[in-house]
Structure 1
Amino acid sequence: MTELKILILLVFILSLFMKPTSVLSASQVRCIESERQALLKFKQGLIDRNDILKSWGSEEDKRECCYWDHVQCSNTRHVVSLDLGGNNLRVDNLELLSHLSFLEYLNLSNNDLTSFSMNYSFLNLKELRLSYNQLNEFHPQSLEQHSSLEYLDLSNNKLGGSLPDLRAYSSLQQLALSNNRFKRLAEGIWQLSKLKKLDLSSNSLEGAITEEHLSNLANLHYLDLSYNSLALSVSSDWIPPFQLTDLYLRFCKVGPDFLKWLQTQESLSVLDMSFANISATLPTWFWNLTSSSRLNLSYNHNSGEIPGQSSSNYFSPPVDLSSNNFSGPIPIFLFRSLDLRLARNKFSGSISHICTMSTLMSTPFKTMVLDLSDNQLTGELPGCRIFGGSLQILNLANNKFSGEIPPSLGSQIQLKILHLRNNNLIGELPSSLKNCSVLRMLDVGGNKLTGTIPQWIGTHLTNLTVLSLRFNKFRGNIHPTICHLTDIQILDLSKNNISGNIPECFINFTSFVQKSNSTESTTFVSITILHDKSTEDIISISYPDFQDPFEHEFPMDTYVDNILVQWKGRESEYRKLGILKGIDLSSNKLVGTIPLHFSDMRGLVFLNLSRNHLTGNIISSIGQMEMLEWLDLSRNEFFGKIPNSLAELHFLSVLDLSNNNLSGMIPLGTQLQSFDPSMYAGNSQLCGLPLAECPRESPNPDHGHGSNIEEDDVGFISREFYMCVAFGFITGF
């Protein structure tokens, strides 16, 4: 009996390795020959620049088209999926796919299509993706029999005129037409009763969206009409037939009244009505939208006080109410938000009460972005550890805060941006800030801070790209440790009592030495932050890829920062910092000469050393600083001639050399002669255009610039052009 069992076992094992050929063939999925030929002809009719279809062929080892890349078959051997998106294919004849009558999924997005016209009907097609092409024609009549089509994405093309009439697509559930050139509304779309997601954003649509348009869309839960010239015109007592989860009306005309029907939306998760011309007082029920995950009402004219209580004990969605006219105290429940932006309002009073609230909570606030800038807030900064170390952006600039900077701020070890400028803060910078080692931007200008510039700024905050200590009462020398800030792009120590020499080690500022390309699209930092129940930390640094048209960037996903820069005696706040690089040491008590190696800082855009006690010659090689756009050396004790190389600074559009001891002839060059004579005033021995002619002197013919004086038509070379890229902290929730 035992021998029999062993024999049976051996037979079974051998059978695993000796399957009949007929069984093996039956287990494989073989494609239909007519469909294989159709795919091969399709391949012949396109330009495959990246050779992504190399697995498609007639060779014996390539005969099974169901195993080709980007092709999927059903268990009935028919091709049901063709995924060719993102491959830069040039497709001229889609009709070659006409034999794929069982096709359910067709993705041709991110290719080089200019038109779509297919007379053959794909009766089983459910999903069609044609986004990110060059489509300027789309003929919906070619798909009239596509009652099975559920998903259609035509976003990011060049389609214009009226919206396509898609009423024949009775099964359509998701429709993306964003980022095209459509101008006129059409009735057909509003008859698609099964539609769940509709994105018409970023077109040139005009007119009004009425109750009649929306009355048939009972299944709608995602609606994006942003970036159009559309007005939402519904009666105040209208009750929509749908329950939305996402509503985007950015740059639509919604106001002046608030949308009362939003109260009926019990599942609203994302609401963006920024730039919507709303002038109202927010109703109390608005704060009970507990399911919301993002609320953006910025850049409207809303006013009044926000009620002090919310029925939600767990209110935490990102909230952006910036650039409105809200007033009164900031209610405590808002501080539970993960991202709170209340800038440019009229909020007043103290925020120290959040310390009391934090002691009553079992877990600390998880706020990551807190922007209360440009309000009328008073009192001392909260001295408690209220955010559990989660804070990454803190902007309290342009308020009336007083007292010292609390040492507890140093517990925010994830802090990347800190703005405390233009308040009434006193005392020294707390040494605990050295714990914020990932800080990229430190701006405490416009206060009454004292003491020496801390050495730990250079030794511990080595990731800084912007350091502004301007308009305070700092004293003492600039310690060489500051030169450890090799990534610094803006260094502003102006209007203090700083003395001593300019450190020679400034040449260590790598970003100043490297010349930037003015056409490059660069940003200081791009950060992706994921928020959910398990993590509130930085997950990665990346540039997001928005291939799904319904998963696009939310306006609050980007934090656009700004910095205050002094230019020609005026303070200007710049929100576009891109490749702006500069040093401002003006209005101090600095002595000595300009370090010779300053001319190696070829990437510097502005340099302001005015109102000091600097002496010596202007460095002769200053012309090597070829990116300089404005230069201010006024009110010092420089002597000698203006270097000829100064005329080689072709981008120079702001120059002030006044009130020094300069002498000799102003070098010839189109820029230097175009400046106002006052920019050279106070140098009694200086002559030549635009000042008086030099006695018994003529232009040097070997100068290299010629003797013709031309009117400077360069102007200010658009400082916005050189600051063209926003300082974006991209935050995805």
Structure 2
Amino acid sequence: MARLSIIVLIIMALVFRTALSELCNPQDKQALLQIKKDLGKPTKLSSWLPNTDCCSPEWEGVSCDIDTKTYRVNSLDLNDLSLTKPYPIPSSIANLPYLSFLYISRINNLVGPIPPSIAKLTKLRYLYITHTNVSGQIPNFLSQMKTLLTIDFSYNALSGTLPPSLSSLPNLLGISFDGNRISGPIPGSFGSFPKHFTVLTLSRNRLTGNIPATLAKLELAFVDLSQNMLEGDASVLFGANKVNLQKINLAKNLLVFDLGKIRLSKSKDLQGLDLRNNRIYGSLPQVLTSLKYLKSLNVSYNNLCGQIPQGGKLQRFDESSYAHNKCLCGSPLPSCT
């Protein structure tokens, strides 16, 4: 009997010692286990076990705040999960109150709308939901999440219109909604994004109407509005003061403006310019020859005329970059004479 008592005491001591050594907050662990259950217990999350520490490296995609020694879960990376049937985004994610980074990607069987419970994540800074079959509208409740720095909802099945309220987010650096079914115009309120807002990518959607003149106020570095049905003047995205502009893609729209009148005098870091398949007219501006870092250029299938400026990197691009214009000529196209 004495020997049995000693064994029991040893087991109890080991259990107590394990409990003391575990860093994971019990509420966070409970939330994570619920998320696993809500997703049908996918194989990739098999390391999420109730008798192990969720702050240990064994818990796939989970990170805890070790810098401040609070050990609260602050990062959740759910990607490439093989779900046995269609599941929605678990509302139980909202039970991780210290979450700063949420990454959900490449999950074909993830469906349904973005749950309103995500608005409870008052410390969230980076929100990525990409390459899924999540549907519905981009929710208005995002404007309540004042800590957000980046929102990326690329390549889902989202529809509806762009919420004008997004511009009220005071810390936002960029949004990417490429590859969805979003329709309607770009809201004029998008010109009121904060000064540090630099990324606007809305390609491969169903956007219509004119590019708002208010976007001229923004100091954008990366712009991709390609493969929509946008019309009219896009020169508001250029300007002599655009010192941060690095890449701009407006290809495959219905844009009509005089390219020769755009100003790029301070856009010395411009690396990519894609304007193909529009109705752009005028001539190629001479300032393009001064762009030292230009790596890609395509102005084909427009109504451009005149001689391609000589110098800089413009002759390094082949004929396909300039082809199918009204009367564009000069190297690498045939001579103007």
State the TM-score, normalizing by the size of structure 1. 0.38
- Find out whether 1:671 has 2:313 as its counterpart: yes
**Change over 3 Å in CA distance of 1:458–1:604 after alignment to 2:** same
Pick closer, same or farther for the CA change 1:292–1:623 going to 2, 3 Å.
same
Secondary structure of residue in 2 paired with 1:442: strand
Q: Is the 8 A contact 1:620 1:645 kept in 2?
A: no
Give the match's secondary structure for 2:119. helix
- Aligned pair in 2 of structure 1 residues 396, 385: CA closer, same or farther (>3 Å)? closer
Cα 1:292/1:593, change in 2 over 3 Å:
same
1:624 aligned counterpart, secondary structure = coil
Deviations 1:109-145 (A, max 9, x none): xxxxxxxxxxxxxxxxxxxxxxxxxxxxxxxxxxxxx
Structure-1 residue corresponding to 2:291: 649
Asked whether the equivalents of residues 76 and 101 of structure 2 are also in contact (C-alpha less than 8 Å), the reply is yes
Q: 1:469 to 1:305 in 2, by over 3 A?
A: closer
1:503 paired with 2:232, answer no
Structure-2 separation of matches of 1:687 and 1:491: 33
Which structure features the higher share of helix residues?
2
Cα distance in 2 between the residues matched to 1:429 and 1:304: 28
Deviation of 1:607 after TM superposition, in Å, equals 0.5
Matched, 1:319 2:49: no
Task: Specify whether residues 311 and 646 from structure 1 end up closer, same or farther in structure 2 by C-alpha distance, changes over 3 A only.
Answer: closer
Determine which of 240, 254, 257 is the counterpart of 1:613: 254
Question: Gaps spanning 5+ residues in structure 2: where?
Answer: 1-13, 25-42
Task: Name 1:368's counterpart in structure 2.
Answer: 74
**After superposition, where does 1:277-296 map in structure 2 within 5 Å?**
291=21, 293=23
Query: Which residue type is aligned with residue 315 of structure 2?
Result: Q
Match of 1:694 in 2: 336
**Does the 8 Å contact 2:136/2:160 carry over to 1?**
yes
1:455 corresponds to: 164
Superposition deviation, residue 587 in structure 1: 0.7
The question of whether the paired residues in 1 share the 8 Å contact of 2:291 and 2:312 is answered with no
- CA deviations 1:441-486 (Å, max 9, x no partner) are 1000101111110011112x23111200111111111112112222
Q: Partner residue of 2:10?
A: none
Is 1:586 matched up with 2:292? no
CA shift for structure 1 position 506? 1.8
Aligned position for 2:188: 480
C-alpha distance 684-484 of structure 1, shift in aligned 2 (>3 A): closer
Q: Aligned partners of 1:307, 1:627: CA distance in 2, in Å?
A: 46
Asked if 1 retains the 8 angstrom alpha-carbon contact of 2:215 and 2:236, the reply is no
Q: What displacement does 1:290 show?
A: 6.7
Q: Which has the higher contact order (CA 8 A, sep 6+)?
A: 2
The answer for unaligned runs of 5 or more in structure 1 is 1-265, 267-287, 295-302, 324-333, 341-364, 513-580, 696-733
Q: Does the residue aligned with 1:376 lie in a helix, a strand or coil?
A: coil
Q: CA separation in 2, counterparts of 1:462 and 1:374?
A: 32
Structure-2 separation of matches of 1:594 and 1:635: 14
- Runs (4+) of structure 1 exceeding 4 A deviation are 320-323
- Give the equivalent residue in structure 1 for 2:304: 662
TM-superposed deviation, 1:656: 0.4
Return closer, same or farther for 1:455/1:626 CA change in 2, 3 Å cut-off. Answer: same
Structure 1 equivalent of residue 115 of structure 2: 406
Does the Cα contact within 8 Å between 2:45 and 2:59 map onto a contact in 1? no
CA contact (8 A) 2:257 2:280 kept: yes
Q: Which residue of 1 aligns with 2:4?
A: none
Q: Output one character per residue of 1:600-638: Cα deviation in whole Å (capped at 9) or x when no partner.
A: 212111000111100121134234322100100111001
CA distance 1:308–1:634, shift in 2 (3 Å) = closer
Asked if the contact 1:465/1:490 (under 8 Å) is kept, the reply is yes
Summarize the alignment of residues 33-48 of structure 1 with structure 2, pairs less than 5 Å apart.
Answer: none
Which residue of structure 1 aligns with residue 322 of structure 2? Answer: 680
Residue equivalent to 1:639: 281
Cα separation, partners in 2 of 1:648 and 1:304, compared to 1, 3 Å: closer
Of 353, 367, 383, the residue aligned with 2:91 is 383
The answer (yes or no) to whether the contact 1:411–1:432 under 8 Å persists in 2 is no
Distance 1:305 1:436, change over 3 A: closer
TM-fit CA distance, 1:291? 2.1
Q: Structure 2: which amino acid aligns with 1:475?
A: S
Asked whether the 8 Å contact 1:497–1:588 carries over to 2, the reply is yes
TM-score of the two chains, using structure 2 as the length reference? 0.79
Deviations 1:77-116 (A, max 9, x none): xxxxxxxxxxxxxxxxxxxxxxxxxxxxxxxxxxxxxxxx
Partner of residue 36, structure 2: none
Identity in percent = 30
1:419 aligns with 2:157: no
Deviation digits for residues 322-376 of structure 1 (CA, Å, limit 9, x no counterpart): 69xxxxxxxxxx7xx7469xxxxxxxxxxxxxxxxxxxxxxxx953211112333
Match of 2:245 among 598, 604, 609: 604
The verdict on how the C-alpha distance between 1:687 and 1:321 changes in structure 2, with shifts beyond 3 A counting, is farther
Give distance in 2, aligned partners of 1:305 and 1:372: 9
C-alpha separation between the residues in 2 aligned to 1:305 and 1:458?
Answer: 36
Distance 1:653 1:388, change over 3 A: closer
In 2, Cα distance between the equivalents of 1:308 and 1:509?
Answer: 44
Preserved contact between residue 665 and residue 687 of structure 1 (Cα < 8 Å): yes
Q: 1:344-359 alignment to 2 at 5 Å? A: none
**One-letter code of the match for 1:633?**
L
CA distance in 2, matches of 1:611, 1:482: 22
Structure 2 residue matching 1:637: 3-state secondary structure: coil
Aligned match of 1:37: none
Give the count of matched residue pairs.
294
- Cα gap change, 1:642 to 1:416, in 2 (>3 Å): same
Alignment of 1:2-151 (within 5 A): none
In 1, the alpha carbon distance for the partners of 2:125 and 2:267 equals 30
Deviation at 1:306, TM superposition (A): 3.2
Aligned to 1:254: none
CA distance in 2, matches of 1:605, 1:589: 23
Q: Deviations over 1:182-231 (max 9, x none)?
A: xxxxxxxxxxxxxxxxxxxxxxxxxxxxxxxxxxxxxxxxxxxxxxxxxx
Q: What amino acid is the match of 2:321?
A: M
Paired with 1:493 and 1:311, the residues of 2 have a C-alpha distance of 44
Q: Structure 2: how far apart are the matches of 1:586 and 1:594?
A: 12
Describe the shift of the 1:446–1:320 C-alpha distance in structure 2 as closer, same or farther (beyond 3 A).
farther
